[in-house]
Amino acid sequence: MPYDPEKTDADLIIIGAGPAGLTAAQYGARANLRVLVLEQMAPGGQALLIDKLENYPGIAPGKTGFEFSEDLHRQAEGFGAQFLTEQVLSLCREGDLYTAGIGKGKRSAPAVILATGAKHRTLDIPGEDTFYGRGVSYCATCDGPFFKNKKIFVVGGGDAACDEAQYLSRLSSQVILIHRRERFRAQQALAQRVLRNPNIEVRFNTVMREIKGERKVGSVILEKTSSGCKGTGEIYEEAADAVFIFAGITPQTSLVPDAEKDEAGYIVTDQHMASSLPGLFAAGDVRAAPFRQVVVAAGEGAIAAHSAAAYIDSLKGESY
């Protein structure tokens, strides 16, 4: 039976309003779809916290993440996308329709773009939240260039920590990589490159207890550990200009437990951003991808909206 728009609240529901979701909203609305964006926070997602977005093509000398997010939001609304400030509590599919359960009822559509992003795992130490965006970062390619020739601490022992330390070592000869255990859990090849890098000082059996400063990061409190990761009591303070934390990230996929995911829990899609579930598309940090940047998320959002429009046309019997 062909899709009947009169029986749904929207043609396309987008869950999440970061760069991927906002771009998808714009492209979906421009494709003459009834687009409904559901976001529990302000539009922009993690981009709101970017102090200066200087590497987005065409934006020079740069904008704050807030300004960039506001522009995306206005564009999407200008093309007709509707926004609701609601947390999506559930997502179910019956027949050809998805139903999103929210605090004030339900909303239905034949297609959904999941753009819920991922959350960085934190160290949960004093100063981490206080200095986020002022020396504390979770993305070397985003913020590393602000700290050229500065003293940079990197926290972590996996592939991401080693990769990002390598990147930062091209910007500064004062990169200190600390890991709570006595050896890396990264791939051997990555670990060896770090250990051989003259710009990286590796400190095993070391944990960060606090990040201090006034208006920005100024120092860190470190503690030596035993091989079992328990503190030995040797605590010291050391000057620092930046702290890059790579304790892992957690994709926000709880709404779609049945969608195919990779080993790290990210949603697997094809090149059209289509997931393993019919009518469900994914874009941005929630999706399995080799590179995560604002410009990548925006591109994926555009592709997801285009693919969703084609999917809806097929339900109407209007595909071409």
- Active-site positions read 139, 142-143
Torsion of CA 63, 68, 71, 75, to 10 degrees: 130
Would you report the helix, strand and coil content of the chain in percent, each value rounded to 5? 30, 30, 45
List Cα–Cα distances, 48 to 38, 185, 249, in angstroms.
17, 32, 18
Q: How far is CA 283 from its chain centroid?
A: 10
Longest dimension (CA), the chain: 70
Please check whether residue 105 is in contact with residue 275, taking contact to mean a CB–CB distance below 8 angstroms: no
Identify the bridge partners of residue 53 per DSSP, sorted by sequence position.
Answer: 63
Q: Which helix (H) or strand (E) holds 249?
A: strand 249-251
Q: How far is residue 230's CA from residue 212's CA, in Å, rounded to a whole number?
A: 22
